[in-house]
């Protein structure tokens, strides 16, 4: 399996088999164990990862850079303005050149209608693995860290575990669809009962929803959709309150001002979509609360819920490091290095 993953791109976990995902999870768990034991894990000595960020990042940037350091390699922290991308350099030229200078490329580009295509254009011209650090459709690194965290708290058999992924009100910034979309695609493959709650104005992309239904059928899970946050949260084992934009609903809009005005009106209409103590009480006793962070506290979720003893948001954030190490060590590893 290590041999099969070597050099493999990761743009969406839907491109990876369950066996490949299991291999990445196993490597991540072992590297986490070794870090806690204080062991050195120089699996990528003198290897270089080029990280290109088109947006801000806390967990992704630091988990990936720390992962490379702890694996004995180095990560270049790049932004478009530091490169000739800002002057129009093509994905082909960027991919070809970086492929000759390092062992991996990682990119975050969440621009709607642009990001995923840009990553795929780079990967088509890269001879080294391309790792998505999030685009406008997928966030595989968040998805696999979430799955690792869920297994740590609920065990390996996740069959019929009810997980509520609910849209929530936010004012901090327009958040892409990629986190909930990656979650429904991945969780449904591992037997979970996924319930997605969202107002009609904030759907996920139809093709992603249809693929998640196929994944659920193949993985023994379920996926359903409700337009009521209470219904989503009721009897859940895990709740994820998360804002996302209405981009899938507004793909046909051309006028940006009109788009923004309608988006804002729809957002304001659903201020009541918050995971507060009253709504959280509808879930099963001991229900875990997850969030990819940053959370819009007081809008998506109250402090009392997010900081409660059942919140596992920091376990989830920490596992971004360990899963980054697992994926990088398997896709970039050279020679006879072994985890």
Residue in this structure with the two tokens 């992962």, named with its chain if needed: 67
Mean pLDDT of the chain: 93
User: So what's the pLDDT on residue 265?
Assistant: 86
Residues of the chain with pLDDT > 90, as a percent, come to: 84
pTM: 0.94
Where in the chain is CATH 3.40.50.1370? 2-138+319-332, 140-316
If pLDDT is split at 50, 70 and 90, which confidence band does 266 have? Answer: confident
CATH of domain 2-138+319-332: 3.40.50.1370
User: So what's the pLDDT on residue 80?
Assistant: 86
Does residue 294 have a cis bond before it (omega within 30 degrees)?
Answer: yes
Count of C-beta atoms within a 10 Å radius of residue 254 = 7
User: So what's the pLDDT on residue 337?
Assistant: 43
User: So what's the pLDDT on residue 75?
Assistant: 97
Lowest mean pLDDT among 163-177, 235-249, 253-267: 253-267
Q: What is the 3-state secondary structure (H, E, C) of the chain?
A: CHHHHCCCCECCHHHCCHHHHHHHHHHHHHHHHHHHCCCCCCCCCCCEEEEEECCCCCHHHHHHHHHHHHCCCEEEEEEHHHCHHHHCCCHHHHHHHHHCCCCEEEEEECCCCCHHHHHHHHHHCCCCCEEEEEECCCCHHHHHHHHHHHHHHHCCCCCCCEEEEECCCCCCCCCCCHHHHHHHHHHHHHCCEEEEECCCCCCCCHHHHHHHHHHHHHHCCEEEEECCHHHHHCCCCEEEECCCCCCCCCCCCCCHHHHHHHHHHHHHHCCCCCECHHHHCCCCCCCEECCCCCCCECCCECHHHHCCCCECHHHHHHHHHHHHHHHHHHHHCCCCCCC
Residue 338 has pLDDT above 70, yes or no: no
When pLDDT is averaged across residues 158-178 and rounded to a whole number, the result is 92
Residue 83 has pLDDT above 90, yes or no: no
Query: How is domain 140-316 classified at the architecture level of CATH?
Result: 3-Layer(aba) Sandwich (3.40)
If pLDDT is split at 50, 70 and 90, which confidence band does 336 have? Answer: very low
User: So what's the pLDDT on residue 7?
Assistant: 94
How do residues 21-56 score in pLDDT, each as one tens digit? Answer: 999 999 999 999 999 999 999 999 999 999 999 988
How do residues 185-234 score in pLDDT, each as one tens digit? Answer: 999 999 999 999 999 999 999 999 999 999 999 999 999 999 999 999 99
Q: Is 72 exposed, middle or buried (0-12, 13-18, 19+ CB in 10 A)?
A: middle
Residues of the chain with pLDDT > 70, as a percent, come to: 94
User: So what's the pLDDT on residue 18?
Assistant: 97
Distances (CA, A) of 331 to 24, 67, 130, 205, 338: 10, 13, 9, 29, 12
Residue 154 has pLDDT above 90, yes or no: yes
């Amino acid at each position: 399996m290590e041999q099969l993953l070597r050099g493999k791109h990761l743009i969406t976990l839907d491109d990876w088999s369950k066996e490949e995902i299991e291999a990445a999870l196993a490597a991540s768990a072992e590297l986490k164990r070794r870090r806690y034991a204080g062991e050195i894990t120089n699996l990528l000595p003198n290897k270089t990862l080029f990280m290109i960020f088109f947006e801000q990042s806390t967990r992704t940037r630091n988990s990936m850079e720390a992962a490379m350091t702890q694996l004995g390699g180095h990560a270049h922290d790049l932004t478009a303005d530091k490169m000739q991308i800002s002057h129009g350099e093509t994905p082909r030229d960027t991919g070809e050149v970086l492929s000759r200078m390092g062992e991996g490329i990682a990119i975050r580009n969440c621009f709607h209608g642009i990001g995923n295509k840009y990553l795929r254009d780079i990967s088509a011209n890269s001879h080294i693995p391309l790792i998505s650090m999030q685009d406008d459709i997928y966030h595989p690194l968040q998805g696999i860290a979430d799955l690792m965290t869920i297994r740590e708290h609920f065990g390996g058999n996740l069959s019929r575990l009810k997980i509520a992924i609910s849209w929530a009100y936010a004012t901090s910034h327009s958040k892409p669809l990629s986190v909930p979309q990656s979650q429904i695609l991945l969780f449904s493959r591992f037997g979970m009962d996924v319930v997605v709650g969202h107002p009609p104005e904030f759907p996920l992309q139809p093709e992603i929803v249809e693929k998640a239904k196929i994944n659920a059928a193949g993985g023994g899970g379920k996926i359903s959709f409700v337009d009521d946050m209470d219904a989503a949260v009721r009897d859940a084992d895990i709740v994820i309150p998360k804002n996302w934009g209405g981009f899938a609903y507004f793909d046909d809009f051309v006028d940006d001002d009109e788009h923004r005005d309608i988006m804002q009106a729809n957002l304001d209409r659903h201020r009541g979509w918050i995971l507060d103590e009253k709504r959280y009480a509808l879930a099963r006793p001991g229900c875990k609360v997850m969030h990819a962070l940053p959370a819009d506290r007081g809008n998506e979720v109250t402090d009392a819920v997010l900081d409660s003893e059942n919140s596992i948001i920091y376990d989830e954030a920490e596992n971004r490091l360990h899963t980054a190490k697992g994926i990088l060590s398997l896709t970039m590893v050279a020679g006879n290095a072994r985890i």
